[in-house]
Amino acid sequence: MGAFGQPPPTSFDTGLSNGQTFVFAKCINPANCQWHLFQALAQLKNKQDQWMTKREKDIKNNFDPVNDPCSKYPDCHTCIKAPEQCGWCSVPVFYNGTIPGKNCAGLNTTITPRINCTGSFSTKDCSNVTTGQTTGQTTGSNQMYYCDPINATCRMQSNGTLPPDVCQAQCKVNPIPPIIQNTYWRGLEIDTAYKQGEWRAHFTTNSVTVVSPDGTVIQGNVSTTSDYLTISTPAGAYQTLWQFQPGPAVDNFSWAWGPLGGQPPVSFDQAMTQPGQKEFWLVTCHNGAPTTVCDFSK
């Protein structure tokens, strides 16, 4: 927003440094997320409709916010032989379940987000992954796997989301993904047992410090396994789900925590309502933004 009676800002950066810029969020599922901070609930849209609208818009605009080094390989054979640890999907993949990608995608989660292939997938053989197939099966198996972040092993499960090749490649203990290293975040707890007030988080290259609205500090070393972040504290470990999404004014971070010493949330929806679990929505300044434009470190 510009000053009263004045023209609007020429950009979001201008609004941050010489105006007023706000970031808002709303519940997607009213059964899992109920915010009464202002004694009212917004009119909610269906989650799937939102995802499909975003997907169609991104595809239309050829939007590619993920810098995946594997996406440059145009065919299966060059993809699976590439040095960047790539795999080929018979249909374009999605990163973090929402961001559309290409057929060739990277498996190293320290470089790119987790991927979801709804067709045939392989890192070794191109005979069963012809572009255009949508069988939902993976090379050599139609079973889906789950990466257990506690012991970094793949387990076959009915609610698994990863083909075996993807799970084997991603289910390793890695450092903090570079995209969230050395960042400061501010935001809200958004589960049904939320506490009013601002939460803050600061990631270094190997640790995180989280401060609650009442000043309680949680500090620990961080490691990554597939789409989970593990926070190891002197009192025990928190297993957490995370998702990063870029925005026009700031970047967004969804963070779902399991209980201390317990299992991670099965989903972001579960963390909204399950006793002992928490969920946060945080924002940070764009990478490289000058402090005169945006500074969350204070």
Domain boundary among 122, 144, 173: 173
Q: Does 225 reside within a domain?
A: yes
> pLDDT tens-digit profile of 39-78?
443 444 455 556 555 555 554 444 446 889 999 999 898 9
Residues 105 and 191 in one domain: no
Task: Render pLDDT for 170-214 as a digit per residue (tens, 0 to 9).
Answer: 778 888 888 999 999 999 999 888 878 999 999 999 999 999 999
> How much is the pTM?
0.61
294 shares a domain with 238: yes
Q: What would the DSSP string read from start to end of the chain? A: --STTSPPPSSHHHHHHSS--------S-TTT----TTS--PPPPPHHHHHHHHHHHHHHTT---S--GGGG--SHHHHHT-TT-EEEESS--EETTTEE--SEEE--TTTS--EE-SS-EESS--TT--TT-----BTTB---EEEETTTTEEEE-TT--B-HHHHHHH-SEE---GGGTTEEEEEEE-STT--SS-EEEEE-SSEEEEE-TT--EEEEEEEEETTEEEEEETTEEEEEEEEEE--SSSEEEEEEEPPTTSPPPSSHHHHHHSTT-EEEEEEEPPTT--TTT-----
Say yes or no: 40 and 121 in one domain: no
Instruction: Let me know if residue 260 belongs to a domain.
Output: yes
Share of the chain above pLDDT 70, in %: 84
Indicate the residue among 173, 206, 239 that finishes a domain. 173
Specify whether 104 is located in the same domain as 162.
yes
| pLDDT-based confidence at residue 134 (cuts at 50, 70, 90) | very low
192 and 296 belong to one structural domain:
yes
Indicate whether 62 belongs to any domain. Answer: no
Which domain-ending residue is among 125, 155, 173?
173
* Residue 8 belongs to a domain: yes
| 268 and 192 share one domain | yes
298 and 204, same domain (yes or no): yes
How many structural domains does the chain have? 2
Same domain? 108 vs 169: yes
- Structural domain of residue 262, as residue ranges? 1-44+175-298
